[in-house]
Amino acid sequence: MSGRGTKSFLLSGARELLFSGARPLFAIALALLTSAGMILATDANPITAYAALLQGAVGNFVSIANTCVRATPLLLGGIGVALGLKAGLLNVGVEGQIYAGAAAATAVGLIALPVPPCVHLFLAVLAGFLGGLLWAVIPGYLRAYRGISEIVVTLMLNYVGFYFISWLVEYPGILAEKGAVFPQSPPILESAQLPVLIRGTSLHAGIILGVILALFFHLLLRYSPFGFRTRMVGENPEAARYAGVNVTRQILMVILLFGGMGGLAGTGEVLGLKLRLFDAFSGGVGYEAIAVALLANGKPLGVILSAFFFGALKAGANKMQIVTGIETSMALVVLALAVLFVIAIGFGERRLISRRRKRGKDQAAKETQAYGN
Amino acid sequence: MGQGEEIALRMVRMTKQFPGVLANDNITLELRAGEVLGLLGENGAGKTTLMNILYGLHQPDAGEIYVNGKKAEITSPRVALDLGIGMVHQQFMLVGNLTALENVILGIPPRHPPLLELDSNRARFKKLAKEYQILIDPSTPVWQLSVGDKQWLEILKQIFRDVNILVLDEPTAVLAPSQVQQLFKKIRQLTEEGGAVIFISHKLDEVLEVTDQITVLRDGHVIGTISTHEATPPKLAQMMVGRPVSSKRKPRPASETTKEVLVVEGLCCDDDRGIPALKNLSLTVHTGEIVGVAGVGGNGQKELAESIAGLRQTTKGTIRINGELLTGVIRDPSLLGYIPEERNRTGLVDSFGVEENLILKTFDTPSFTHRGILKWGAIRQAADNLIEAYDIKTPHSTIPVRHLSGGNQQRVVIARELNAGPALLVSSQPTRGLDLGAVEAVHNMLLQERSRGAAVLFISAELAEVMALSDRIVVMFKGEIMGELDAETADVSLIGELMLGHREVFAVGGGTS
Amino acid sequence: MEISLGFISDWLAATVRCGAPLMLVGVGGVYVERTGVFNIGMEGMMLAGSLAAIAGSFFTGSTFVATICAMAAGGLLAVGHAYLTVTRRANQIISGLAINFLALGATNMLFARLFPTVKARVCLYPVLAPAWLHDIPFLGPAIFSQSVIVWIAFILPVPAAWVLYRTSWGLNIRAVGDHPHAVATAGPSVLRLKYIGVILSGLCAGLGGSALVLSELGYFAPNITAGRGFIVLAALVVGKWNPIWVAVACLLFGGADALQLRVQTFGSVIPYQFPVMFPYLLTIAALAGFVGRTVGPKTVGQPYDPEGL
């Protein structure tokens, strides 16, 4: 790639982010405005509240570390969802994949392997990826080969995953720690732990993994034949078939991939933050990752931004509570409102496409009958 | 056949504009009680839009409707039904999981709400079914019914509602010839009882048989209304198509046509509904020749093109290109170029840019992919070359293709398919929806391909262009080849007869070359 | 490991108690999915209903008012869902998920403010059967000692089925999710049917929420519904969108829920997690076709375009 190529790549990436960011940004603004109204209703000062929020999110190194830590699973899971969206698939099963990946990573992380630490870590991370991927095999097969919607199947597997972990970490489960008060695994061996980036904080390398993978998938979608095929299948499966793409196989591969990403989200939590496998450790983060991906309009690079936004909200919510007494659940409310406003406003571009395709069939013939075409 | 004096329906100066298309342009139409009016026109002429307005599914931009002399504002199907207007649509409006009876009573306000009153309705169903000889058990789930039975059920639905004005939109599409006769009988039964029928079709022979009057639409406006007595197929064809169906042949150099490129033998396949679309079809195309497939749309042409391109499963028979047996989708651009009928749905990805659509099939070849990475630089270069070579009017190669005009979209498809100089070119309705300049360009392109030595299979419902461009003409009717003629010496009326399925006039059966 | 009759009787009663809220939500679920709209937000609507019920009961002392409040809370969220999915044609899953987040966050906040002290004394649904009936073995605990809302939960599916299969409006509902254009061309308004379906599901979810907290629990806690709304989605599949069978499936799932707690207490060989997983695995099996034909309303999840004809 020549220098000119690199510059235009960066420029077009920036332009893309700007254009696709306009509507979600507007929606977020509306959400913050509405929440400000709610804060006013509780006799608190919205400005003080938001100031505290900002402080808690990015005010000092510890805050930023906190934000990043909370953003990490959202980023990793969100990238997978975004990939799925590009292929016309919706991954509702992030939660289950998180658990499956965490279990696999823990299993490897508990065994003292006769290998150097970075290899042990690598193997544990790989196990986590594969755990999530395996969790997506059933929905992947059912969707790709039988056309059964991945939505309900992955949703059900979320619960199976939740209870599966519960069984694993509750004594006498395979991963359970004997004599523990709460169901949990023994601590992950140090050789399998993700390195901490800033000493004294909980900021672990998972965030770096997330950013790298976001970049990787962005490049994959734009610069690889696999990405091209994926986008084709997502936009027009019929044309994709006509172009010789094996649509079935493509769908299966994408589903397995986003399963793996969900697994990595869980892996990051277990190998980086919690350092043990706890019962019910996820608490809904998987579902939030879906909202993250949506706010980013399915673009991997945009997911970095929206994951940080969510992470900031959650990190800052604590400070906001201390200063103004507003409950931390406000963050969730802002998040929900942001998503609702985004889908109410729509993405403009997307709506146009679907309207056009719906008019499809004989309208396609009619609409090209314009005079002076 | 009743020729009532009262005018059951008048649609005056109906106009409807869709974004980019004037679907109905100042259309005026009259229908008398006891009469069958044929509404004839090519695909996209505006027939269905007009009737959808009558049925309240669309609102007109201008125009008035008078039902039995009274002005009517038809804002929804409910209003239309209350006025006694019923419509049988092109697609089935039947709910598969419900029974025949439930489908028929769907939406009819019950006499004693909220109960369904299945018993009294069932009795009425059986009575009407017997009267009109529609042998369907009311408790059959609709998904179990055959396609023909579904069509009868649609008609029974309307009879059940006592409609006075019945619109039938291409009702014979799924019926066998004997069933078509039964349909005509039922239509006559309806008109004898005072009802009026609008019969939409693009099939000349049927319109001639069952109607009293015929209104021909083309490009959104009325060409004329004639009494069926006075109508003849050539006259109607010309009204439908617009250009005099002359054999203004395009000049062409002589070419070598000895090698067989495409050999189709005994091909059978089904259409999307599961009905056989091709019946034992055989066809050969040689290098340097254009074989034109004439015939009214809907006689298996689409299925033939898709089968050759490897996009449709065949049930019997073989397809060979350059001697090799076809097994699946053909990706080799030097072997086959395929310009599909519905270019937006199949041939292009709307939201992809021009350059991306140009490499839709070749993106993973060495010229565009190096070590697993797409070389956008090379792709852009190639795209720019193609844009220039094929005169595609676009401000930039990354503009999403849906922003281009129809003609330019077609050029993108053509550029992509022809660039590698395929041995076989299959082109299906390539000029549909294009303006004259674009049409001219497509014609020239086809001749150029022929000169290059490609084997060209050219499918079109526009007889004029088939006659102008082809070296040989085969005529398709109901999935079979009625006959094959040399285009130089072909006679229009002969082709017309073959298009109507009258094989007896021609001494060849089946048409192998 | 002893499975005494007492255990079974106890488990049966618990099954009924756990299944009732699900059954109520299920009725609405049948209607909404039959109209072709996927409502994953019933979880949030149920949660909102729970809080509204507790608040209503606490502040007015009347379970009737509490019920109205609960249904209103669910219904209000449903109006939002209907607007987004039917009028704006937005993605139904995302809308539902967002509603769940909203409900979770909002109920947590409101709960903390309204009830700063942990447990509030509220009025529960009355138990209508006279005391002497409660002592009948099996039937006593299972049926007669249950509160009135549980009885309603058992009764409601019956008129729901009757309306669905025996009225013309019910016919419209059954048709619109399968082939909305067939309904549109036959006269009825598709948009109106979908709106009604969604709002009905919200009302029922709210009702289910109030059944959850006011039949025996008597208190609210953050995220008290804990995914019950999602289980109803599974019951819809297993019950093949028939109100009666869906109610049976809900009862079945309630039984699994009730079993989990009991199995935990006497430490059996089978880890409790497995009976709990059962409903979810059953749903996947049903979807994959192992439990007979599972064909839901054909257009569930697809936005309806009136011009799409």
* Average pLDDT score over residue span B482-502: 80
Whether the predicted pLDDT of C286 surpasses 80: yes
- Find the Cα–Cα–Cα–Cα dihedral B79, B80, B82, B86, rounded to 10°: -150
Q: A153, C274: Cβ pair inside 8 Å?
A: no
Of B126, B139, B201, the closest CA to residue B170 belongs to B201
Look at residue A365 and tell me whether its pLDDT is greater than 60.
no
Q: Strand, coil or helix: what is B314?
A: strand
> A227 to chain B: which residues are within 8 Å by CB?
374
Stated as kind and residue range, the H or E segment containing B285 is strand B276-286
Lowest mean pLDDT segment, chosen from A1-15, A187-201, B240-254: A1-15
Please state, in angstroms and rounded to a whole number, the distance separating the CA atoms of residues B396 and C254.
Answer: 61
* Chains linked to B by 3 or more Cβ pairs within 8 Å: A, C
CB-based contact, B390 to chain C, within 8 Å: no
Q: What is the pLDDT of residue A358?
A: 39
The reply to whether residue B345 touches residue A236, judged by beta carbons under 8 angstroms, is yes
Number of domains within chain A = 1
Phi, psi of B328 (to 5 degrees): -170, -160
Alpha-carbon separation of residue B73 from B10, B70, C188 (angstroms): 13, 10, 18
Q: In chain A, what residues touch B345 (CB-CB under 8 Å)?
A: 236, 238-239, 360-361, 364
Q: Is B293 left (phi over 0), alpha (psi -120 to 50) or beta?
A: beta
Last residue within a domain, chosen from B377, B394, B420: B420
More confident residue, C1 or B195: B195
Q: What's the confidence (pLDDT) of residue B298?
A: 73
Give the residue from chain A lying closest to B46, CA to CA. A366
> Are residues C277 and A160, on separate chains, in Cβ contact within 8 Å?
yes
> Does residue B126 register a pLDDT over 90?
yes
How much is the average pLDDT of B490-495? 78
Cβ-Cβ contacts under 8 Å, B407 against chain A: 368, 373
Reported confidence tier of residue A230, pLDDT bands at 50, 70, 90: very high
Asked if pLDDT for residue C294 goes beyond 80, the answer is: no
How far apart CA C67 and CA C122 sit, in angstroms, is 13
Going by pLDDT thresholds of 50, 70 and 90, the confidence category of residue A360 is very low
Residues in chain C within 8 Å Cβ distance of B105: 168, 171
Residue B73, domain extent = 7-241
Neighbours of chain C (3+ CB pairs under 8 A): A, B
> Which residues of B are less than 8 Å from C307 in CB distance?
58
Confidence category of residue A363, pLDDT binned at 50, 70, 90: very low
DSSP state, residue B363 = T
How many Cα atoms within 13 Å fall on the side-chain side of residue B232? 5
Q: What is the mean pLDDT of residues C193-213?
A: 96
Interface A-C, measured as beta-carbon pairs within 8 A, has a size of 129
CATH 1.10.8 fits C19-116+141-288, yes or no: no
Mean pLDDT score, B418-441: 83
Answer with the one of B219, B241, B263 that is the final residue of a domain. Answer: B241
pLDDT value of residue B15: 92
Query: Which residue among A92, A331, A358 sits closest to C93, beta carbon to beta carbon?
Result: A92
Q: What is the rounded average pLDDT for all residues in chain A?
A: 84
- The CATH number of whichever domain residue B201 belongs to comes to 3.40.50.300
Contact B253, B452 (CB under 8 A): no
Distance from CA of A217 to the nearest CA of B (A): 13
Q: Looking at the structure, do residues B83 and B170 belong to the same domain, yes or no? A: yes
User: Are B24 and B41 in the same domain?
Assistant: yes
CA B407/CA B373 separation, integer angstroms: 32
Residues B397 and B429 in one domain: no
Q: Domain count of chain B?
A: 3
* Nearest-by-Cβ selection for B374 from A225, A362, A372: A225
Nearest-angstrom CA–CA distance, B445 and B413: 12
pLDDT at C120: 60
* pLDDT class of A144 with cuts at 50, 70, 90: very high
Tokens, residue C265:
């207490």
Query: Can you list the alpha helix ranges (DSSP code H) found in B344-405?
Result: 354-358, 376-389
Q: Which residue has the higher pLDDT, B485 or A350?
A: B485
Q: List chain C residues with CB under 8 Å of B95.
A: 174-175, 178-179, 182-183
Range of the domain at A255: 8-346
Q: Residues B416, B429: one domain?
A: no
ipTM tops 0.90 = no
Q: Can you state the percent helix, strand and coil of chain C, rounding each to 5?
A: 70, 0, 30
Judged by CB atoms within 8 Å, which residues 268-307 of A form the interface with C?
284, 287-288, 290-291, 294
- Which of A146-155, A191-200, A253-262, A309-318 has the largest mean confidence? A253-262
Does the pLDDT at position C59 exceed 50? yes
For residue C163, the distance in angstroms to the closest alpha carbon of chain A comes to 27
Question: Based on the domain organization, do B193 and B307 belong to the same domain?
Answer: no
- The rounded distance, in Å, linking the Cα atoms of B189 and B128 is 12
- CB-based contact A242:B340 (threshold 8 Å): yes
The closest CB to that of A5, out of B43, B377, B406, belongs to: B377
Helices (H) and strands (E) in chain A, counts: 15, 0
Characterize A220-248 residue by residue with b for buried, 16 or more Cβ atoms within 10 angstroms of its Cβ, and e for exposed.
Answer: bbbbbbbbbbbbbbbbbbbbbbbbbbebe
pLDDT of residue B247 exceeding 80: no
Compute, in degrees rounded to 10, the torsion defined by CA atoms C135, C139, C145, C147. -170
Is residue A359's pLDDT more than 50? no
Query: Cα separation of A325 and A305, whole Å?
Result: 28
Residue A352 corresponds to which tokens in the numbers above? 């146009």
**Which residue among B360, B361, B407 sits closest to A373, beta carbon to beta carbon?**
B407
Confidence of residue B281 (pLDDT cuts 50, 70, 90): very high
Task: Report percent pLDDT > 90 for chain B.
Answer: 34
CB contact (8 A) between residue B331 and residue A244: yes
Domain ranges of chain C: 19-116+141-288
Task: Give the integer Cα–Cα distance in Å for C202 and C37.
Answer: 12
Instruction: Please write the tens of the pLDDT for every residue from C6-57.
Output: 778 888 888 999 999 999 999 999 999 999 999 999 999 999 999 999 999 9
Q: Can you tell me the distance from the alpha carbon of B380 to that of C254, in angstroms, rounded to the nearest whole number?
A: 61
Residues of C in contact with B77 (CB under 8 A): 184-187
pLDDT, residue B329, reads 79
pLDDT in tens, B258-277: 788 899 999 999 887 778 88
Q: Which residue has the higher pLDDT, B420 or A257?
A: A257
Nearest alpha-carbon partner for A165 in A265, A266, A65? A266
Structure tokens at B409: 């979209």
How confident is the prediction for chain B on average, in pLDDT?
Answer: 85
- pLDDT for res A23: 77
Q: Which of A275-289, B499-513, C62-76, C280-294 shows the lowest mean pLDDT across its residues?
A: B499-513
Residue C76 burial class via C-beta count within 10 angstroms: exposed 0-12, middle 13-18, buried 19 and up: middle
Res A298: pLDDT: 87
Chain A residues with CB-CB distance to C102 below 8 A: 332-333, 336-337, 340
Mean pLDDT of C237-243: 91
The pLDDT score that the predictor gives to residue A209 is 94
Contact A336 C288 (CB under 8 A): no
| CA closest to B93 among chain C residues | C182
| Whether B19 contacts chain C with CB within 8 A | no
Residue C91 Cα, gap to closest chain A Cα (Å): 7
C-alpha A37/C-alpha A15 separation (Å) is 33
Candidates A155, A111, A113, A120; CA nearest to A135 is A155
pLDDT of residue B43: 67
| Overall average pLDDT of the B292-316 stretch | 87
Task: Convert the pLDDT of each residue in B141-196 to its tens digit.
Answer: 998 888 788 888 999 999 899 899 999 998 887 777 677 888 898 899 889 988 99
Asked whether the beta carbons of residue B94 and residue C182 sit closer than 8 angstroms, the reply is yes
What is the rounded average pLDDT of the residues A284-293? 92
Q: What is the rounded distance in angstroms from the CA atom of residue C274 to the CA atom of residue C283?
A: 14
Q: Which residue of C has its CA nearest to B75?
A: C187
- Domain endpoint, select from B369, B397, B420: B420
* Amino acid present at B77: P
Q: What is the CATH number of the domain that holds A275?
A: 1.10.3470
Out of A77-86, A173-182, B353-362, C67-76, least confident range: A173-182
Q: Which of B147, B146, B156, B91 is nearest to B122 (CA)?
A: B156
Select from C47, C95, C109 the residue whose CB has the most chain A CBs within 10 Å, as the one to mutate to test that interface.
C109
User: What is the distance, to the nearest Å, from the Cα of residue B286 to the centroid of all Cα atoms in its chain?
Assistant: 28
pLDDT on residue C297: 84
**pLDDT of A185:** 86
What is the band of B352 on the pLDDT scale with cuts at 50, 70, 90?
very high
Please tell me the predicted confidence (pLDDT) of residue B491.
80
Confirm or reject contact between B144 and chain C (CB < 8 A): no
CA distance B482 to B509: 7
- Token pair recorded at residue C84: 């987004």
pLDDT at A355: 40
| B380 and B251 in a common domain | no
Beta strands B472-477 and B289-294 are: parallel
What residues in B contact C185, CB-CB < 8 Å?
A: 55, 57, 77, 87, 89, 93
Cα C66 to Cα C59: distance, rounded to the nearest angstrom: 9
pLDDT digits (tens, 9 = 90+) for C160-174: 999 999 999 999 999
Q: Is residue B343 part of a domain?
A: no
User: Is residue B221 domain-shared with residue B260, that is, in the same domain?
Assistant: no
Residues 401-430 on B with a CB inside 8 Å of A are 402, 405-407, 409
Of A9 and A331, the structure prediction assigns the larger pLDDT to A331
**Residues on chain A touching B219 (C-beta within 8 angstroms):** 369
Section B200-219 average pLDDT: 86
pLDDT confidence bin for A10, thresholds 50/70/90:
low
- The stretch B418-430 carries a mean pLDDT of 90
Would you give the distance in Å from CA C271 to the centre of its chain? 27
Give domain status of residue A28, yes or no: yes
CB contact residues (below 8 A), chain B span 59-98, against chain C:
76-78, 81, 87, 89, 91-98
Question: Is residue A51 classed exposed, middle or buried when 0-12, 13-18 and 19+ CB atoms within 10 A define those classes?
Answer: middle
Least confident window among A68-72, B86-90, B217-221, C155-159:
B217-221
Handedness of CA C300, C303, C308, C309 (dihedral sign): positive
